[in-house]
């Protein structure tokens, strides 16, 4: 579409408009509030629904998980690997619970699917690592969030 803008004589002469623009940038330079968050010292406030690093909820040091295999079934990235076992009191529990976090897409469907409120996503988002790492059960049962 052809847009015609009304430009007066003064606008065509550039100079006045240029000086107006220069004053606008100077106004920002001195007076505007800066939006930068200085990361390691200041942090952005995320809501509790933020989906970060996983953890398995444990009560009295025993994980809630009963190895029902709902989370590896629902997982679209197929990053959860569980090997089920049997405790002495005949209760089913995960012998191995591994999350390949490099495959994980943090959709949170495992959290939704879990009937035992075992797998949870915490608020932690600093997960950069130098080498490929699979999070095992010992790592995951550390209580990283308050969900």
Partner 1 sequence: MSEMSWTLIKFGLVLVGLLQVVPIMLWVERRGSALMQNRLGPNRIGPLGLFHAICDTVKFIFKEDPIPSHVDRFYYLLAPIVCVIPAFMTFAVIPFASSITIDGQVINFQVADLNVGILYIFAIASLGVYGIMMAGWASNNKYALLGSVRSSAQMISYEISMALSIVGILMIYSSVKLGDIARLQGETLVQLGSVAIPKWGIFVQPLGLIIFTTAAFAETNRLPFDLPEGESEIVAGYHLEYGSMKFALFMMAEYLNMTVASAVISTLFFGGWQLLPGMQFALDALAFDGMNREWARIAFEVMSFTIKVAFFMWVFVWVRWTLPRFRYDQLMSLGWKGMLPLSLLNIVITAGLIALGVI
- In angstroms, the CA 84 to CA 95 distance is 5
Q: Say whether residue 129 binds partner 1 (CB under 8 A).
A: no
Residue 67's CB: how many other CB atoms inside 10 A? 22
- State yes or no: residue 15 binds partner 1 (CB under 8 A): yes
**Residue 19 or 115: which CB sits closer to partner 1?**
19
| Cβ proximity of 23 and 122 under 8 Å | no
The residue (of 19 and 112) whose beta carbon lies closer to partner 1 is 19
User: Scanning residues 27 to 46, which ones bind partner 1 (CB under 8 A)?
Assistant: 28-29, 32-36, 38
Cβ at position 46, least distance to partner 1 in Å:
22
Q: Does 24 bind partner 1 (CB under 8 A)?
A: yes
DSSP string, 43-75: -PPPPTT---SEEE-EETTEES-----HHHHH-
- How far, in Å, are 2, 3, 9, 11, 12 from residue 6 at the CA level? 13, 10, 10, 9, 10
Judged by CB under 8 A, the residue of 26, 83, 95, 102 near partner 1 is 26
> How many residues line the site for partner 1 (CB under 8 A)?
15
- Which residues are near partner 1 by CB under 8 A? 15, 18, 21-22, 24-26, 28-29, 32-36, 38
């Amino acid at each position: 579409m052809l847009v015609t803008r009304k430009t007066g004589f003064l606008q065509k002469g550039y100079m006045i408009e240029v000086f107006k623009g220069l004053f606008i940038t100077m106004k920002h330079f001195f007076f505007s509030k800066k939006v930068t968050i200085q990361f390691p010292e200041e942090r952005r406030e995320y809501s509790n629904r933020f989906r970060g690093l996983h953890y398995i909820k444990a009560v009295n040091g025993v994980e809630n998980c009963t190895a029902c295999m709902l989370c590896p079934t629902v997982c679209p990235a197929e990053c959860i690997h569980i090997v089920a076992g049997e405790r002495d009191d005949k209760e089913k529990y995960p012998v191995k619970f591994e999350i390949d976090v490099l495959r994980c897409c943090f959709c949170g469907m495992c959290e939704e699917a879990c009937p035992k409120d075992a797998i949870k996503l915490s608020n932690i988002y600093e997960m950069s690592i130098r080498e490929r790492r699979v999070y095992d059960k010992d790592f995951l049962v550390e209580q990283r969030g308050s969900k």
